Chains A and B, each alone.
Chain A
């Protein structure tokens, strides 16, 4: 035990002193900074677009355009009926914007219940060849039920300003694709190979501590470092988002546990395979809860990402090669998932399971046309983590250091 503690202490000092941690941390903070600036300007843009002045101007432009078309003699009268109807609608909307009334209405529990009944009726009346659409509709019912259960009266048409939770959710989803794995891998990919390249491994291994212990100490240090790194990154992100957008929007509904199934559907005169929604296991939870769970899942996935980088560092003797190898695996994994959408064997790759939050919600399944659940992905990641560590350990302890 004393030996392990000493090894971890040593490794930690080395990791900090060779500036890897600092460099990767600064890189993460730079990404968070860029994302914050980007999302802030995008939100401003959206706000401007949704401001009454801008809306009024847009609607007036549209009216002018419609008037011109209606006056145009080259357009057949039959088409103009439709345009006149649209003109009336546009005029109504313009009046509403001018009078300062919000568009749409607040949905009371009563109204939501009516809507639910309506949707249920629609599902019942779906013809057999369109049954596959029921999943989406059931998902909507779940959302409405969520509103009712929480006494929320949402205005479903009104413009919803950007919220921190929504931004963090986006970041988690994009980050899990390449950023988080790259950071984790970059941080630890020289843990063993770096000492091989520098030759310091000889002095480290010609000591009482066994090779297994040295490797385990290095691994634990890698895990601690990457978890701290991801935690700092997520902390900085949350702080920045709260500062920019406030803390509202926690209660916004988020559907999780959505599954999918394949269905042969006749579309446009052709049989096509549809990846239809199966909402039977779905649940709606507050977006904030989803984001917090998503952060924990991201940290958990970091363990597997780190193990991948660590494994690469035990496989080759050059620090540059092991870093390149680890980054290559991550990038290739991402590319492969994109191009081999729907292939069942994607499940065998560790990189497919890195995006745990989106597997939790079901979005990964939809994106890559895969049938995976959170439990399954967790098992795959655990399996990969254990297997990679054991292979690395086998190689490290058996290796003759003669070069």
Chain B
């Protein structure tokens, strides 16, 4: 089946600075894709090119098969967006804001507007001026405007900025139910925790470059690569011993009497047996589990420092 979003070799350079450097990815139907990267990595620039707010220096973007540059109108009909904070007209009511966008999209009935308002739970305050809305309500109205024309692809840039924890949970549930109905979602964030709970796949971007594409399952697997910290009497000797019998465990001397090794899958007997045979006193064994966060840091900031 044709992907809902296809990005090929997308690049944005302003003068000598390359903000986004030759990135490519695809999003399938009903898939929730996370665009992950630290602040300033190029996420917002990428998203603005996707929705036609900025012109790519090179590369191609197709939404539902329609090129964003050449067939803009058709492409935009299939996208709903919130670019950063949903900035709506504060002097209009929530309903009037939605009517503005409905007129631009065409063929949107009052009944559809009512349905969307109900979906985001704004029925009671929809007649109030947006000026009087809380940030959470604005965010929900932002989602409503993005959903009005029933888009195939929903693009959300840092959507939970400024939401409280319960708001974030509600928002996550809303996204999950939309995805279940077949809407594809691209969601950008600098917070891994936010993405791992809703996304199927994640693309990691760092300094404008694509680092990796992985399923959340992959990432979780990687994070389960736990290490063992062994407290021993002679760390150097223990290191050499492990190295000679199982170099794939990557032993590292962490300090006086401290040795770290990858946790072997299954039994520890082989590892511990070799140490005992070498007359090394094993004082304590700790298991250290790395989080998804560590994996992310390693891929982005961590990699840079290394």
Residue numbers of A with Cβ under 8 A of B are 2-3, 6-7, 9-10, 13-14, 17-19, 198-200, 202-210, 398, 400-402
Query: Are B87 and A200 neighbours in the complex by a CB distance under 8 Å?
Result: yes
Q: A206-B79, A208-B104, A210-B72 are in contact. Are A400 and B54 (CB under 8 A)?
A: yes
A7 nearest in chain B by CB position = B104
Query: Are B89 and A400 neighbours in the complex by a CB distance under 8 Å?
Result: no
* Partner-contacting stretch, out of B27-35, B44-52, B181-189: B44-52
C-alpha gap A209/B103 in the complex (Å): 11
- B281 to chain A: closest CB distance in Å? 61
Query: Are B76 and A208 neighbours in the complex by a CB distance under 8 Å?
Result: yes
Query: Are A9 and B91 neighbours in the complex by a CB distance under 8 Å?
Result: no
Q: A198-B90, A205-B53, A206-B53 are in contact. Are A6 and B83 (CB under 8 A)?
A: no
Q: A200-B89, A402-B48 are in contact. Are A206 and B104 (CB under 8 A)?
A: no
A398 nearest in chain B by CB position = B55
The 5 closest A-B CB pairs, nearest first, are A199-B87, A206-B51, A400-B54, A6-B103, A401-B53
- Which A residues touch B85, using CB under 8 A? 199
Query: Are B87 and A202 neighbours in the complex by a CB distance under 8 Å?
Result: yes
Contact string against A for B residues 258-280, beta-carbon threshold 8 Å, 1 for contact and 0 otherwise: 00000000000000000000000
C-alpha gap A275/B145 in the complex (Å): 64
Query: Are A206 and B87 neighbours in the complex by a CB distance under 8 Å?
Result: no
B145 nearest in chain A by CB position = A203
- B96 in the interface, Cβ–Cβ < 8 Å? yes
- Which B residues touch A6, using CB under 8 A? 103-104, 106
Please tell me which one of the listed residues B52, B74, B92 contacts residue A206 in the complex, with CB atoms under 8 A apart: B52
Contact string against A for B residues 56-84, beta-carbon threshold 8 Å, 1 for contact and 0 otherwise: 00000000000000001110110101011
- Which B residues touch A10, using CB under 8 A? 100, 103-104
B44 nearest in chain A by CB position = A402
Known: A208-B106, A402-B54; 15 extra A-B contacts, CB below 8 A, are: A6-B104, A7-B104, A10-B100, A14-B100, A17-B89, A17-B96, A199-B85, A202-B53, A203-B83, A205-B52, A206-B81, A206-B83, A208-B104, A208-B105, A400-B14
Please tell me which one of the listed residues A18, A203, A210, A398 contacts residue B88 in the complex, with CB atoms under 8 A apart: A203
- B25 in the interface, Cβ–Cβ < 8 Å? no
Contact string against A for B residues 222-249, beta-carbon threshold 8 Å, 1 for contact and 0 otherwise: 0000000000000000000000000000
Query: Are A200 and B88 neighbours in the complex by a CB distance under 8 Å?
Result: yes
Please tell me which one of the listed residues A18, A206, A208 contacts residue B91 in the complex, with CB atoms under 8 A apart: A18
Q: A202-B53, A400-B55, A401-B53 are in contact. Are A207 and B105 (CB under 8 A)?
A: yes
Query: Are B53 and A208 neighbours in the complex by a CB distance under 8 Å?
Result: no
- Which A residues touch B14, using CB under 8 A? 400
C-alpha gap A198/B130 in the complex (Å): 13
Query: Are A208 and B89 neighbours in the complex by a CB distance under 8 Å?
Result: no
Query: Are A209 and B104 neighbours in the complex by a CB distance under 8 Å?
Result: yes
- A5 to chain B: closest CB distance in Å? 9
Within 8 A of A (CB), among B93-141: 96, 100-101, 103-106
Query: Are B53 and A400 neighbours in the complex by a CB distance under 8 Å?
Result: yes
Q: Pull 19 A–B residue pairs with CB atoms less than 8 Å apart, ordered by A.
A: A2-B106, A13-B92, A13-B100, A19-B91, A198-B90, A202-B83, A202-B87, A203-B87, A203-B145, A205-B53, A206-B83, A207-B104, A207-B105, A208-B77, A398-B55, A400-B48, A401-B54, A402-B48, A402-B53
